[in-house]
Structure formats: structure tokens, C-alpha cells
């Protein structure tokens, strides 16, 4: 059931990347950006895409695999599954197994890796859950449906605040929850629809969330919108550096850097589209994952410097869409 390849060892460099591919490949990979080499590769299920990735400060990786109710898939039956792996690869442990739910699109974890937070759809499409699950025993600590009880009020992503006291949830509304109890503290209408590809990230001042044309910045305390930036098409990639710089990528190939003080710093265009996810490394390098467009450029991670200049790219899959991206930065916990 578990297919795995281990490299010579995990390097002790500044950054490690983790990529997840769509259901045609469904593989979680560890990549070393400095050598542009693969450390290990794991495919625990057949025909289950890796929808979301979260990484703790210790380097423990959490990956959500899409549900597949077809017994012929080789993965058995059941809904979405969150599996955790040590940074060096090894046997995975199931943290959360849904019975019917088919897609966990939002995933985050405590810095310690003791608990995960997730959003997923229920068997009734109107039911959109937010859960906190203890990693040690898989117990659900709380479960919420922070919605307006209408069919289209989906939730798709979430982000833990710096320090971990709050969880911000993305849908047509932004919800602010207490991370300890799941209590809804406040909510604010975004005025923009959301889907399973859109992201949310919380910084020290603002909560950023992507839309069908750009990115919004809401005050993290009041949830009132203070800024908006247009990239011209649906934005799927969103990431924040430890310094608060925000990188957003669009389906049509735009890459932009934002800061709370300066707003839009630069915007570049990639000839390879669509751009699916992004992460920011220690040196300010920007890692951008690509989805498939029927060309030979599927399954890449493109690397840009902190000024948006393209440096190089390296393969991140076997010509498959990279739909999720995670990063481990051991220097943060040093």
C-alpha cells in the first residue's frame, strides 16, 4: 500500500519543500531547493490527490489526500485522509480519516505539531466543517460549521494566526475563531466568492485572502477590509514570509509581492501557467508551483529571487499538476 523512495538523506540547508500532486499521481515529495534534488517520495494511495500540506516547526509534515469512494481504486473506501510523516520520510500515521467527506482543502497545524486544523465538505454539500484534531490520538477537540445555513456558503481554507490563538477561515465570509474552543469570535463578508483553490493567510496586521481577480487584506482584529490588489485573474497561490512579505500568484501567470507598509512592491509574469501555489524561503527566494496545461511544463517549481527575477526551475513531479506546496524552515526554530 505504501510506495516510497528515500534519498541519501535530508540536507540540513535553509529550506525544504514538499509538493503534492493531483489524483493522477497523488504523490507527496520532499525536495531540496539548493541541490534541486528529490529527497523522498511517497504515494500511500491510488488515485487520491494531495490537496493540502502543513508543516510544523519540527519538520513533521501533514498532507491531506482526497477521498475516493471507489473500491476499485486500490485505496479502499472512505473520505479524505490526513497523514503525517517525519521530515526524513518514513512510515506515515493517519491523523484523521473522514467517513464520507470528499475533500479537505484547508489544512494547518500548531507550530508544535500537536494539533491540526482542517476544513472539509460533508456528505450534505451544504455542510462545511472546521475541525481541530489532536495528533497523538486522532481525537476531534472541536468541530464547527461557521456558516449561514445556505447551500452555497462553503469554506475552503484556514490559517492559524501568529502565536496560534485564532483560526481564520475562508469562504464568502472571513470567520475568526478561537483556536482553543472553536467559538466564533467574529465574521465579515468579503464581497467575493471563494472556491477550493483559493487561500487565506494571517500575518501580524492583516489577513490576506485570494479572489477571482486578486487579493484582499482585512484587518486581523476588526476583519474590515483595508486594501485590495488586482492581478487580473483568479489567484490560487498565497504565502507569507516570516518578515511579513506576501506572495500571491494567479492562474494566468502573474506573481506579485506585497508588504503591509508598501502595498504592491513588484509584479512579474510567468510564461508557464497556471500557477497553483507559492512559498517564500529564508533568502527571500520565491518558490512557485505550476499546474498542468497539457504541455511539458507540468509539475515544476519555478524559483524567483526576492526582487522577482526568475532564477531557474526544477521538476517537482513526473509531469503531473502540483496542487499543493509546503515548506520546512528549520532556521525559524533554531
297 and 320 Cβ atoms separated by less than 8 Å: no
Q: pLDDT (tens digit, 9 = 90+) per residue, 125-140?
A: 556 789 999 999 999 9
What residues have CB less than 8 Å from 81, skipping those under 6 apart? 45, 48, 64, 65, 67, 94, 96, 97, 98
| Alpha-carbon span 194 to 211, nearest angstrom | 6
The answer on pLDDT for 10 being more than 80 is no
What residues have CB less than 8 Å from 321, skipping those under 6 apart? 21, 22, 24, 276, 290, 291, 292, 298, 299
Is residue 236 within a helix (H) or strand (E), and if so which, with residue range? strand 235-240
Residues above pLDDT 90, as percent of the chain: 54
Q: pLDDT (tens digit, 9 = 90+) per residue, 212-243?
A: 999 999 999 999 999 999 998 999 999 998 88
Residues above pLDDT 70, as percent of the chain: 83
71 three-state secondary structure: helix
**What is the arrangement of strands in the sheet containing 104-109, beginning at the earlier edge strand?**
104-109, 115-121, 128-134, 140-144
- For cell 526551475, name the residue: 313
Task: Return the number of other C-beta atoms located less than 10 Å from residue 184's C-beta.
Answer: 15
Q: pLDDT (tens digit, 9 = 90+) per residue, 50-75?
A: 999 999 999 999 999 987 644 333 34
How many residues are present in the chain? 334
pTM comes to 0.90
pLDDT (mean) for 87-105: 84
Domains detected in the chain: 3-332 (2.130.10.10)
| CA-closest candidate to residue 263, choices 217, 329, 196 | 217
Amino acid at each position: 500500500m505504501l510506495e516510497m523512495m528515500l534519498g541519501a538523506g535530508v540536507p540540513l540547508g535553509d529550506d525544504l519543500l514538499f509538493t503534492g500532486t493531483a489524483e493522477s499521481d497523488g504523490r507527496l515529495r520532499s525536495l531540496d531547493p539548493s541541490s534541486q534534488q528529490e529527497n523522498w517520495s511517497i504515494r500511500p494511495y491510488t488515485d487520491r490527490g494531495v490537496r493540502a500540506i502543513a508543516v510544523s516547526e519540527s519538520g513533521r509534515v501533514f498532507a491531506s489526500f482526497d477521498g475516493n469512494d471507489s473500491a476499485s481504486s486500490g485505496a479502499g473506501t472512505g473520505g479524505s485522509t490526513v497523514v503525517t510523516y517525519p521530515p526524513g520520510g518514513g512510515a506515515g500515521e493517519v491523523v484523521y480519516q473522514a467517513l464520507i467527506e470528499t475533500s479537505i482543502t484547508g489544512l494547518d497545524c500548531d507550530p508544535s505539531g500537536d494539533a491540526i486544523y482542517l476544513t472539509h465538505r460533508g456528505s450534505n454539500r451544504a455542510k462545511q466543517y472546521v475541525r481541530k484534531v489532536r495528533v497523538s490520538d486522532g481525537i476531534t477537540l472541536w468541530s464547527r460549521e461557521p456558516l449561514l445555513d445556505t447551500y452555497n456558503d462553503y469554506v475552503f481554507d484556514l490559517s492559524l494566526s501568529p502565536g496560534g490563538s485564532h483560526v481564520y477561515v475562508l469562504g464568502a465570509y472571513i470567520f475568526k475563531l478561537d483556536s482553543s474552543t472553536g467559538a466564533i469570535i467574529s465574521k465579515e463578508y468579503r464581497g467575493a466568492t471563494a472556491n477550493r483553490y483559493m487561500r487565506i493567510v494571517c500575518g501580524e496586521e492583516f489577513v490576506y485572502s485570494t479572489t477571482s481577480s486578486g487579493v484582499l487584506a482585512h484587518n486581523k482584529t476588526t476583519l474590515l477590509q483595508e486594501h485590495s490588489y488586482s492581478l487580473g485573474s483568479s489567484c490560487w497561490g498565497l504565502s507569507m514570509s516570516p518578515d511579513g512579505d506576501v506572495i500571491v500568484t494567479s492562474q494566468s501567470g502573474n506573481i506579485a509581492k506585497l508588504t503591509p507598509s508598501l502595498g504592491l512592491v513588484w509584479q512579474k509574469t510567468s510564461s508557464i501557467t497556471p500557477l497553483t501555489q507559492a512559498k517564500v524561503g529564508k533568502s527571500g527566494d520565491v518558490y512557485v508551483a505550476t499546474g498542468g496545461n497539457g504541455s511539458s511544463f507540468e509539475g515544476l517549481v519555478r524559483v524567483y529571487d526576492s526582487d522577482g527575477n526568475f532564477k531557474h526551475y526544477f521538476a517537482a513531479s513526473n509531469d503531473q499538476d502540483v496542487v499543493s506546496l509546503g515548506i520546512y524552515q528549520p532556521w525559524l526554530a533554531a
